[in-house]
Structures are given as C-alpha cells and as structure tokens.
A = this chain, B = another copy of it.
Amino acid sequence: GPGLAKFLEELRGVVEANQARRKPKVPKGARDFLPEQMAIRERAFAAITGVFKRHGAVSIDTPVFELRETLMGKYGEDSKLIYDLADQGGEILSLRYDLTVPFARFVAVQGITNIKRYHIGKVYRRDQPQMTRGRFREFFQCDFDIAGSYSPMVPDAEVVAVLVEILTELRLGQFEVKLNHRGLLDAMLAIAGVPAQKFRPICSAIDKLDKEPWEVVKAEMVNDKGLPEAVADTIGQFVVLRGEPMALLARLSAPDHPLAQHPQGKAALDDLKIFFEMLQAMGRLGPVTLDLSLARGLDYYTGVIYEAVLQGAQVGSIAAGGRYDRLVGMFSGKDVPAVGVSIGIERVFAIMEAQMRERAAAAGKPLRAIETEVLVGSIGSGLQQRRMGLCAELWGAGIKAEFGYKPNPKMADNLGYCHENQVPFMVLFGEDEVARRVVKIKDMDAHAEEEVPVEELVPALKAKLAAREARL
C-alpha cells in the first residue's frame, strides 16, 4: 500500500545519502597517475619511441576491447583472467589481455602483409593484484613487432637489437637477454624421450627454473607430470647449458652432439648462427646469453624466444618475446610470420621513479611535473590583467609562462612557487616599471636581476633560456 511505497522511498533516500557519503575509490588493481609520475612516464615513452622511430617503425592503435571470440583460445589457462564486458545487447566484448593478439587480429583485418610497428597501450588482467610488486589489473604494455616474410632471422635480429638499445638507453642497470629457440627445446625433449603431447606441460615446468631449483622442477616432472626419472635427468643435463652465445653454439653444433644430430635441433642451431652473427654485426650481442632453460609459457611461439632480466633486481623479467609465425593465420587463414618483444613498462616506470626520487632528494629538489619557464609577478595591487597580457606575449613566442592566480601575490609566494617547481626565471614589475615601460628579469639560479624595456622582454628571455639550455 501507500505506507510501503513511502517507506521504500525513504529507504532509497537513506541508501543514496549513504552512497554519497561513502568514500570514493579507485578500482582494485588500478591506479591514478599523479603529475610527477606522468612526467616520468612521458620521459620513458619518449626514450622508447625514440628507439622505435630510429628503426623505421610505425605506430598503430586498436580498441581497448575486442570481440570475445578474438581472444578465446589464445591464452590457454590464463583466459580466465580476461575481463568481459556485460551483455547489454549487441556484440559480446572483452578487454584486451595483451597487445599481441590484437596486433595479429589487426594484421588479418587490415589485410597487411608486412609491417614494423610499435604499440603502447593499456591491457587488462583480472589477476590478484600485488601493487607493491608491480602487478596490476590495468597496466601498460609496450610492444614492438615485425610481421612479414623476410630472409631468415633478419627481423628477429633487429627486434633483439631494439630491445638491447632500449634497455641500454633507459639506464636501468646491468641487464641480460636470455635467449633460446623453440626448435632446440622441442629437439631436447624429443631426445630425452618426452612424448609429444607432454611437450607443453613439461615446458611450463622448465619455465619455473628461474624461480625454483632443479630438484623441485624435476619432482614436478616426475610426480605431477608422470615423466620417468631417467627422462627428467636427461632434460636436466640440457637445461644447465647456458653461456656466451657463440661459444655455446659451437659446442652444441659439434657433429657428435645429440642436438646437432636431431633435424629440428640442427635447423634451430643454423638459425641461431645467422642470428648471433647479425647481432654481432650490429654490436648488440654483448648482453645476450644462450640459455637452454628458457621456455616461455605461451603456446604461440615458433622460433627464437627471449627474456630480459635486470642483474641483481628481484623484479623478474623486464621484457620478453619471440617469433610467432601462425598467430595471424588463426584469424585470416593465411599465415603472416611475425616476431616481436613486449617491454614490461610498469617495471621500467617503477625503477625510473625510484632513480629520479633518489636524484631529486640528493639535490634537495622536489620532482618536477610542470615545465614552466617563467613566472610573471608584480609588485603592488591591481596588476593582474597586465600580468596576463605579458604572459600572453610570452605564450605567443612559445615561452612557457604563468601569471599567478592571486590578484596581488606576495614576493614570498612567487619565490616559493619558483623554488618548488624549479621555474628558472621570474619577470617582475610594479607601478614604477609600468610607468617607465620596463620589466625586471630575475634569474633564479644565478640570483641575478636585469631590467629590460618591455618590447625587448621576449628576445631577452629567449636568449637567457637558450643560454640556460646550452648550460644544462
């Protein structure tokens, strides 16, 4: 009756009022980026895209969601981590899980036969987040891939060269690129006597060797995956093989070595020989290690696979990739061979942020988020519109300038703002300067002051900014 309706109405009011009072929050596993973090992010992106562009790469973009069927059957067990959109009528959609499958879909849909592209974008995984360890539900990936039919190993070598250049330029510390070949892995398992249908589960056991000792991995192979102990022991003799690429390759390629005698193994060794020679020709072989224990989890790899790790850091791999020749064909029915690398940019941000905070603390200066070059200040009241006008002249000349939002900011306000935000110059004037048609330019670093006619302000500032730029 009307009593109930009235009660429900009142109840709704209470619920809504509570909602309004409830503290708003960021969804679990996702983050806001604050201005200082954005400044770091921008710097990292600029450094990375700089390398991509130096190698003639183009950029593409794809939607943040894909048809659910596009993502299905590509990620194995990890499919359960995919975010689905609600069925609100129309297509069934999911948020992208990585940038590789959308790239393969892009190549197929756009009918592309060859492309060298990079893509920086957010991906989504409904995983248990560990914010302090850099595992998020929404995070950036930064991918570089080369698709197309080319001479053997040429694009592969350029992808790894790009990876080495990026990690060198970012100065995150000493790093190592562990490298293996799917053909070597398969040959090794076949030689050891692993039945073909167990290749994948055994590979995923081997994949744990970077975290677990051999005994634990062997136990998994024998107890959980039903491998005879002798077979596991043979695998154990292979996966300890790691070292300088050329030397280890020579050992494995000796005519009496079982890998060299196995057809798939021989083909992989031949591939790797060309590959290492090309990396050497580009001077990018230094950080590479041939490591037979590297066995990336994803099913779609068909050739070289690699993973970069920072020495000493306990952050796991910072980049990973490989050759995947049959992913595009899953969409179009026509294979376009491809090779690529995905850089774990969140870890890069975290390391850069720590480095920059350390440096800022050592210099006794806060991290800088704005790029303002000049603060226009005034002495006395009623000069705000004149400050605005001067600023507009500076903006017109491409100078980054602010006029201060207080009507009559005190000198202490201005100095505080310049110090806190490392604004290098202040332009100052009062009634007296207005009457004489001059302004003062204060050099905040040099603690020097100069008076110039108003009409010479722009060239004077430009000269000072250029001189400062040259000094830094």
Contact = CB atoms under 8 A, between A and B. Distances in A.
Interface of A: 19-28, 30-35, 38-39, 41-42, 51, 53-67, 69-70, 83-88, 90-91, 93, 95, 105-106, 108-110, 115, 117, 122, 126, 138, 148, 150-151, 154-155, 157, 161, 165, 277-278, 281-284, 330-333, 369-372, 384-386, 388-389, 391-392, 395-396, 398-402, 405-407
Contacts of A60: 32-35, 38
Contacts of A24: 67, 70, 105, 108-109, 331-332
Contact of A400 (B53, B392, B407): B53
Nearest to A51: B395
Contacts of A369: 58-59
Nearest to A385: B281
B56 A278 contact: no
Contacts of A84: 85-86, 88
A59 B35 contact: yes
A370 B58 contact: yes
Contacts of A23: 109
Contacts of A54: 395, 398-401
Given A24-B331, A25-B67, A392 B283 contact: yes
A282 B389 contact: yes
10 contacts: A20-B333, A22-B69, A27-B67, A28-B91, A42-B59, A58-B369, A58-B370, A85-B85, A281-B392, A282-B392
Contact of A384 (B55, B115, B126, B154): B154
A30 B402 contact: no
A59 B284 CA distance: 36
Contacts of A155: 405
Contact of A35 (B33, B58, B126): B58
A78 to B, nearest CB: 14
Contacts of A57: 370
B63 A389 contact: no
Most buried by B among A138, A284, A333, A392: A392
Contacts of A90: 28, 126
Given A56-B372, A281-B389, 10 more contacts: A22-B69, A32-B61, A32-B106, A35-B117, A38-B60, A55-B402, A56-B402, A83-B85, A281-B386, A282-B392
A349 to B, nearest CB: 11
A55 B373 CA distance: 10
A62 B138 CA distance: 10
Given A34-B60, A56-B400, A61-B33, A388 B157 contact: yes
A110 B34 contact: yes
A320 to B, nearest CB: 22
B284 A392 contact: yes
